[in-house]
């Protein structure tokens, strides 16, 4: 992928290519099996994980490469911006 089409970090204002996928759901809004995604660069992985974790939303953290190679159909490029856990 070229830099122009590479997924970028979901942290507000960050334009760094994503390395991690943070899979999450809000149990008050989503079915237990539903997974929404945020993308993270190395610098923001811990911060975004903590943000989701303290709310009880974080379900999994995997590398973008592993997420993309998984058999289930998922599109991490549809990740929402940080601060919008709906």
Mean pLDDT by 10 residues, the chain (86 residues): 75 97 95 95 98 96 93 50 46
Supply the pTM of this predicted model.
0.75
**Burial tier of 79 (Cβ tally within 10 Å: 0-12, 13-18, 19+):** buried
Residue 72: per-residue pLDDT: 52
> Between vectors from CA 5 to CA 16 and to CA 81, what angle results, nearest 5°?
55
Residue 29: per-residue pLDDT: 93
């Amino acid at each position: 992928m070229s830099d122009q089409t590479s997924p970028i970090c979901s942290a507000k204002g960050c334009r760094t290519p994503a390395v991690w996928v943070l899979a999450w759901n809000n149990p008050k809004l989503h079915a237990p099996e539903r997974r929404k995604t945020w993308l993270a660069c190395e610098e923001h992985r811990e911060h975004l994980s903590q943000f989701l974790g303290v709310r009880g939303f974080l379900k999994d953290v995997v590398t973008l490469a592993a997420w993309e190679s998984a058999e289930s159909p998922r599109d991490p490029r549809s990740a929402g911006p940080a601060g919008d856990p709906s």
